[in-house]
Copies of this chain bind each other. A is one copy, B any other.
Amino acid sequence: MAVYTDVTDEELFAFVGAYDLGAVLSFKGIAEGVENSNFLLHCEAGHFILTLYEKRVNPDDLPFFIGLMEHLAAKKLSCPLPVKRRDGLSLGMLAGRPAAIVTFLDGVSIRKPDARHCGETGRALAQMHLAGADFAIRRANGLSLAHWPELFEASRARADEISPGLAKEIAIELDFLQRHWPGDLPQGVIHADLFPDNVFFIGQKLSGLIDFYFACNDFLAYDLAICLNAWCFEPDGAFNATKGRALLQGYQSLRPLDEAERRALPVLARGAAMRFLLTRLYDWLNVPPGALVKPKNPLEYLDKLRFHRTIDRAREYGLGA
């Protein structure tokens, strides 16, 4: 939760002046977003979010992110729509950073989702996968199987500080994942970070998806595995099969998994747990001085990984036969 970059009123007025949004009525930094600085912007034309892309975002990826939101919104997925400036561009510079204005999306993220929220999320994820099918720009997944070994190396020497034996356990698991990772599943644009804080609800109804800044091309079912981990475990670490079933059924109501995807689900879930275990481990061991964001506990994902190792077949997640 942070605003990393200070924006003066003068810089703001100059930036917003390139859009057809009328006068600025209000401008407030919001305590949301780990990677970027976000501001709530009220103009005569309505409410918007202004995002400054901070240094962890590669500017070369911005046309993908911006284009993806435009593409998905055009396909009626509820997500922020980048607003175009009078010159037709959706990106500008503000306070030395690339910056964009997107439409404001109503909704509240749910801290303790129930099975119905999981079902809605599964459905929205499938909707996103279908809507993204003909998106022309591609972006490789920079946090995929191929990148895990180097990510691990950056933390390996200190991993046992977090939990004795952790380094060895990760090494064995990485070896397993390299040998068993599927090679031929349906691919497309995935969200890659669809945690509860990136899904908005009004009441029980899903109102939209946000934060597409990890989106990339990868196996569609891997995205679903990320959601299984993010949505279907209880705070005490137990897997909630009712939520798992709801998530998978919601997803399959729009995009049924094929046989290869079903078979791969346990290994994909292990990989998805590994990806967040490794990034959280790195962030935990490398908190920058003066950090505004508290690192998340990596061991939560070690527990999830261990759970998935006990799963033989996808039906154990609550997937129908």
> Do B112 and A12 have beta carbons less than 8 Å apart?
no
Instruction: Decide if A10 touches B112 in the complex (CB within 8 Å).
Output: yes
The answer, among B2, B9, B29, B202, for a CB contact under 8 Å with A111, is B9
Complex contacts, A200 vs chain B, CB 8 Å: 26
Taken together, the copies of this chain in the complex come to 2
Most buried by B among A12, A25, A292: A25
Say yes or no: A32 contacts B29, CB within 8 Å. Answer: yes
- Whether A110 sits at the interface, judged by CB under 8 Å, is yes
User: Which residues from B are CB-within-8-Å of A107?
Assistant: 25-26
Q: Which single member of B10, B30, B106, B111 contacts A8 (CB below 8 Å)?
A: B111
Q: Which of A104-153 contact B (CB under 8 A)?
A: 104, 106-112
* Separation of A25 and B25 alpha carbons in the complex (Å): 20
Would B9 and A108 count as touching, CB distance under 8 A? yes
0/1 interface trace, chain A 272-306, chain B, CB 8 Å (1 if under): 00000000000000000000100000000000000
Per-residue 0/1 for A259-282: is the Cβ within 8 Å of any B Cβ (1 yes, 0 no)?
000000000000000000000000
CB of A238 within 8 Å of the partner chain: no
Is A1 interfacial (CB-CB < 8 Å)?
Answer: yes
Nearest opposing residue in chain B for A106, CB measure: B25
Does chain B have a CB within 8 A of A34?
A: no
The digit string for A1-25, where 1 denotes a CB below 8 A from any CB of B, is 1110000111010000000000111
Question: Complex formed: what's the CA distance from A215 to B2 in Å?
Answer: 29
Cross-interface CB contact of A26 among B8, B29, B31, B108, cutoff 8 Å: B108
A42 engages B106 (CB within 8 Å)? yes
**Residues on the B chain within 8 Å of A1, using CB:** 3, 29
Additional A-B contact list (19), CB under 8 Å, known A26-B106, A30-B31? A3-B31, A8-B111, A8-B112, A9-B109, A10-B111, A23-B202, A24-B108, A25-B202, A26-B104, A26-B108, A26-B200, A27-B108, A28-B31, A29-B30, A30-B30, A30-B40, A31-B31, A42-B106, A292-B292
Nearest 3 CB-CB pairs, A to B? A29-B31, A25-B106, A3-B31
Q: Which residues from chain A sit less than 8 Å from chain B, CB to CB?
A: 1-3, 8-10, 12, 23-32, 40, 42, 104, 106-112, 200, 202-203, 292
